[in-house]
Structure formats: structure tokens, C-alpha cells
A and B are shown apart, each in its own frame.
Chain A
């Protein structure tokens, strides 16, 4: 081989690659812009989640720009979201976050999807001092690293299982035997463990506590074993595809129970349309629900007007993941407007000091950066619709028993 020229060419290519990466066409009109980077899993296994996030961010950007932009001390700034796909691959997410900061020169960042990727990428934005909002990271371990620039819009996982356990045991003391089947993956696993903790705390008997591997195509054995334990409460965690399959195989194998809870599928309309009648009476909990009612000080105003605008654009109700993404944008906007500058450190301080009500709920971040002020609603699929059964203030229906 012609080694010398080839080797020279390689280095040249390396530098060419670096040149290619220079920001393309930053100037666009005269209006100043705020650039927000959003590394998302738009392809690969997490693609459905990534697309929800993108909808939420787009929705905020469009709403902000329709009002002339974000007001920074009297100057309106256009919002521009710079998307990058990391193909559901966490290292790529970290790499992409750094690229967005150093090459695309974004002012702020939205975290990649989920607790794992958000945590992995948080070291990058921390190093560069870029205020970052995580719209889908709930694990406390994401926030307890002592970082100053990371803020999250999900409360810890236990805030989902605690109200669930409270309302179920309160309504029916006969519920004694709990079976937990969790996907062996960050968030679903953590929520399964929280459920076991919440159950034990109330002296419920955990008769089945197992995990299934990512990519499991058959749950028949697990369901057969659960059925043999005659549980009163079946608690399954996973992503939408897992839960659709588990629900179908429960019906196939005749596993019935007074209470069946699934997290995090039932909040998504895809779950309800894919499972049809079998979705009936399944309970779940999420950080937000279209039925909550807040008088927001943010650009979206009340929850109703947010819902309405969303439905006009997407022809469907928003779910909690979409709302959280839109809220991340709205919160960032409020912080920038309060700071009266886009200087990262000042915006960071404004986020840390924030205590405001939005369409999404009350927003106040704890000392670690994770939101502490939300009250996640519990809901149940009734008549093909998710109906809120807790908290009392926004309740739409009573808890019903019996899933068969």
C-alpha cells in the first residue's frame, strides 16, 4: 500500500472533518436568537419517546416565536432549537451534547431522554457551565452529583408509587398480595423497586418480584407464575411495547386481579389504542395529566389553554412527556426573562431561585435541581379514557376494581 500519502490524507481528512463542523449560517435576519440544543433519540429503540420530546420543544418554540420571541431586557430574541439525533445510544448522546455546546454554540441545553442519558450528559454541560433542563429524568441519582447547572421537571419515582399505594389500600383493605414485574432497565426497574418499598411500608405481601430482560418477546412464564400466586394487585413496568404485550398475555393466560397498574404505558394514547378493551380499569400514575388545572404565569397560561392549543396543532391530547418537554421550554423562557440576560450563570441562578406556577404545575427546584413542587396525579383508564382519581382537587372519577 502507498502508506505515506495515505497517512497524510488521513490527517487531512481529520482536519477537514473538523472544518465541516463549523457552525453553518448562524446569522438569519437581524433579530437576535436564543439557541437551545436538544440531543434526542429520534431513531433506535427510544424513537417514539424522542419524537414526543421534539413535539414538546417545537410547540414551545413556535408559541414563543409567535409572540415575537423571548423578551430579554426589552429585546425580543427568536428561539431556535438545534436538534441532534443520537440514535438511542448513550455515549453518542454525550458526544452530541458536547458538539451542540462547542460547535453549534447553543446557549442552553435540554437533556437527552431518560435518567441514564441525562445523567451521562450532565457532566458535559456542567463542565461548560450551560444551564440544562431534563424533561424526562426522575431518578434522584441524576441530581445528587453536586452539579449546579442541571434542573429536572420530574419529581422522584417514589412520588408516583406512594399516592398509588395510598389510594388503593385506602379504597380496598382486601388488597393484600402484590406481584411486581419490572423491566431490567433504569427507569422501569427503579419504579418497580419503589413499588416494592411502598407495598412493604404498608405491610402488603409481595408475592412475586421479578425482572425481565430488555428485548423479552414472551412473558408467558412470568405470568403463569404470577397467576399461581393469586395476586390482588399486579404491578408491571416497562415501555409501551412491553406493556402492550404483557397486557395481552395476561388476558391470554387468564391472569385477573382487582388492581392492575402499569407504568409508563397507559398515559400514552398509543397504549390505549393498541390494547383496546383490555386497557379498561388499568391504573397508572404520571407527573402530569391533561386534567390538572393550573393558572400558569408562563406563555401558555392555563392548563386548559395549553391543551387546546396542543390539540389544535397535533389533533390529540398532550401526554405527560410532551407536556414536560413544552414546560421545560416555558420554564427556560421565564428564567431568561427574569434574569434579563442570556448569560449562562445568571440564567442558572434565576432557575435556582424560581418559584412560579405554570400550566404544568408549580415549579420550584430543590437544592439538587430536581423539581420538588409537583403533585403527580394517579389515573385509571375508564371507558377508553384516562380519568384522574387522585389528588382529590382534580379528581374526575372514583377508583374502580377488577381487571380481567
Chain B
């Protein structure tokens, strides 16, 4: 029943956002697109970070990989949607492949290994000039569309990615895999002893958490028409989903979506009011959240790690 209600909510939310172009101007559509992108990233991070309890900083790696795959294929003449799908698929395969090497790490060690993935990919993208244009960046074809139609199109594209991520989360929650991930998050060793194939479950979760950032990256590249390595492999792309999920509630289905909306609202409000001190103000907000609103956040995080993660595997 609650499952049915959540599906209804998802459909309702998607319908509302899809109707936005009928009433809103282009800048609001741009904000809506960013919101969908944030929601997709947060929902994806939640699969590995929230359900499985593995603090991943690899979102930027998947996002950038998807963005570059989609951009390169489009430059080679592919239509947008197949290029986009290829970006998502490649990000998922990449996650599955490296997951085997780093998912046996726990706590800070996993966090650092996942962080380094984005760094390596960014450096490679800068280096492989013949493929990526290197430091010069890469240009994508601008769709021949009227302004408002273009804004609406990319909103709908990003909304589609977010909706897929939401649907995947809902499906995952009731599935055997979702159960296995929660066992892993509670106590991985015990889960293993109870016969959960932890390795397979973690790798699958990591791959799922990579597909949607890969798709979002491709949509983003098509939307801005220009990408360069420091932008699509930006470490903030890895940090923000985590903050959003902490804001909204870990391991829940719609918590990350709420967190995405809140973060976007903070960013816009702070950015407008403080010309050069906005980073500091954002810092104050984060510190206040952690110190003085610990309940929502702390309970959630305790569920994330369960144990006092002592670092080493």
C-alpha cells in the first residue's frame, strides 16, 4: 500500500514538473532542470551510500564519464538519445568493473578510493586530446529549436533521468537485492554468514548508482553544449549528493529528492544575497545542520554506518 502510494507520488511529481513549461519562464525551467539533475544524483548516491552504507565519492566520475561518452558519440554523428544511453551504460559497466577492486574497502578507505576514480578520469580526459579535445573542451551541436522549446526539452530529458532513478529506487526497495543491501549496511560479516552474496550485491548496487549519473552527465552535456574536464569531473558533484541525502534522510525513497530541492533553494538564496561570501554562508549552514539539527541527520547517519566505522578493512 505504501508502495502504491509512493508510485502515485512519483507519477504525480513527474507530472507536475513535466507541466512546468506551460506556466514558467526559461530561468525557472533551468532551475527545474538543475533540480532534476540533483535529484537523480542524490537518488543514485542513496543506493550505494544509503542502502548499502558505502560512502561513495565516485558520482563525479560517473557523471563525467557519461558526459564525455555522450558528447564524443554525438560529435561522431550519433543521435542524442542513443548517445545518452551509451553514456549511462558505460558508466554502469565501469562501476561494475572497478567495483570488484575497491568494494572490499570500508569506511574512509572506500571513500578515498572512490574519490580517486574521478581524479584519474579527469586527468585522462585532459590528456587524451585526440578523443576528448583535452583542456580545450568539447563542443556539442546546438539543437535547432526555439528557446522555450529547448528549455522545456532539456527539462523533460533530465526529468526522465530523475524519474528513472526514482523508479529504480522504488523497485530496489522491495526487491531481494534491496534486502541484501540493507543486511550489508547493518552488518556485512553477518550478512555474508547468512548466505547473502555480498560481493555481487555491492557490485550491482555500485553499478546501479553509476547508471543514472552517467545518463545525467550525458543530458547535461547536451544541454550546455560545451564540456571541459574540470567541470564534469568536479569534486562538488560527488559532495553535493551526499549533502542532499543527509539533508533529506538517508536510505529513504524520497528523502534525497527533498534534499535536492532544499540544497538548490539554499544555493540560489545564498548565491543571490552574498556576492563573495556565499561559500562561507553555505559552510555555516552545513555546520549548523550538523551541530544543532543532529536528530534528523544523526539518526539517519547512524543507520548508514551502523557501526563506528574504524577505518581500515
Answer yes or no: A and B touching, Cβ < 8 Å.
yes
B6 at the interface (CB under 8 A from A): yes
Residue from A4, A11, A99, A185 within 8 A of B135 (CB atoms) = A185
Across-interface contacts of A213 in B (CB, < 8 A): 123, 126
**Closest A-chain residue to B32, C-beta based?**
A14
B28 lies within 8 A of A18 (CB): yes
A14 lies within 8 A of B31 (CB): yes
B121 to chain A, nearest CB (A): 13
A313 at the interface (CB under 8 A from B): no
Known: A102-B26, A186-B136, A190-B136. A128 touches B147 (CB 8 A): yes
A202 at the interface (CB under 8 A from B): no
A317 at the interface (CB under 8 A from B): no
Residue from B6, B9, B262 within 8 A of A13 (CB atoms) = B262
A110-136 at interface with B (beta carbon < 8 Å):
116, 119-120, 123, 127-128
Secondary structure dominating the interface of B: helix
Residue from B24, B126, B225, B269 within 8 A of A184 (CB atoms) = B126
As a 0/1 sequence over residues 1 to 36 of chain A, the CB contacts with chain B under 8 angstroms (1 = contact) are 101101101110110111011000000000000000
A169 at the interface (CB under 8 A from B): no
As a 0/1 sequence over residues 1 to 40 of chain B, the CB contacts with chain A under 8 angstroms (1 = contact) are 0000110010011001000000011111011101100000
B69-77, B171-179, B196-204, B253-261 - the one binding chain A = B253-261
Give the tally of cross-chain contacts (CB within 8 A). 119
B258 to chain A, nearest CB (A): 6
Across-interface contacts of A120 in B (CB, < 8 A): 224-226
Known: A18-B24, A190-B136. A3 touches B5 (CB 8 A): yes
Known: A190-B136, A214-B230. A103 touches B262 (CB 8 A): no
A81-89, A263-271, A292-300, A348-356 - the one binding chain B = A81-89
B275 lies within 8 A of A116 (CB): no
Known: A95-B30, A102-B26, A128-B147. A85 touches B135 (CB 8 A): no
A43 at the interface (CB under 8 A from B): yes
A132 to chain B, nearest CB (A): 16
Residue from A11, A89, A116, A123 within 8 A of B137 (CB atoms) = A116
Across-interface contacts of A1 in B (CB, < 8 A): 249, 252-255
Q: How far is the CA of A43 from the CA of B236 in the complex (A)?
A: 15
A83 to chain B, nearest CB (A): 6
* Interface pairs (28), CB distance under 8 Å: A1-B249, A1-B254, A3-B254, A4-B5, A11-B13, A13-B265, A14-B35, A18-B24, A18-B28, A20-B269, A42-B275, A84-B271, A85-B271, A85-B275, A90-B228, A90-B230, A91-B224, A119-B139, A119-B226, A120-B225, A123-B142, A123-B225, A184-B127, A186-B135, A189-B136, A190-B136, A214-B126, A214-B135
Known: A7-B13, A99-B30; 7 extra A-B contacts, CB below 8 A, are A1-B254, A14-B261, A85-B275, A87-B279, A94-B224, A120-B225, A141-B136
